[in-house]
A = this chain, B = another copy of it.
């Protein structure tokens, strides 16, 4: 089993949601998968080309309708099959995120508690922002896409994000309290 990246499958999946152009793919991922997946144009365009080469997608080059150049991609049957094969495959290891805050905290005896508390507050604020973003995405899915077959699963991933963020915020509060007690 090769250790290939899942970026290809992320794009394959997004192509089933109605996104057709590289630009639209980037937008959807930034807006809806942002809490567990990131991507750059430097990856998207080469992968799209590769998908066509492998017969997983077709492309229509439409520079006709007065608008700027635009390439629209469509999954082939083989492409859908490839996506389903990947969905069936067992997940590899759970990811280990590199966390700068925890790294600093680990070595914080070399720093005053004041500074450590500042970092924790900073982190907490960022988590709260993220939490609010999740709430906003959740609302827009419930308002505009509740009829969408995908919606249920999108809400599951959002729920994950919300819960993790909430726990992390609580941990920040408790850790700050413990540092202040001294």
Contact = CB atoms under 8 A, between A and B. Distances in A.
A63 interface: no
Contacts of A111: 84, 87-88
How many monomers of this protein are in the complex? 2
Interface in A95-131: 95-111, 115, 118-119, 122-123, 126-127, 130
A167 interface: yes
A40 to B, nearest CB: 13
Given A153-B107, A171-B160, A95 B100 contact: yes
11 contacts: A16-B107, A33-B106, A36-B102, A37-B103, A38-B98, A90-B122, A91-B101, A91-B123, A94-B101, A95-B98, A95-B100
Interface of A: 6, 9-10, 13, 16, 33-38, 80, 83-84, 86-88, 90-111, 115, 118-119, 122-123, 126-127, 130, 149-150, 152-154, 156-157, 159-160, 163-164, 166-168, 170-171, 174-175, 178
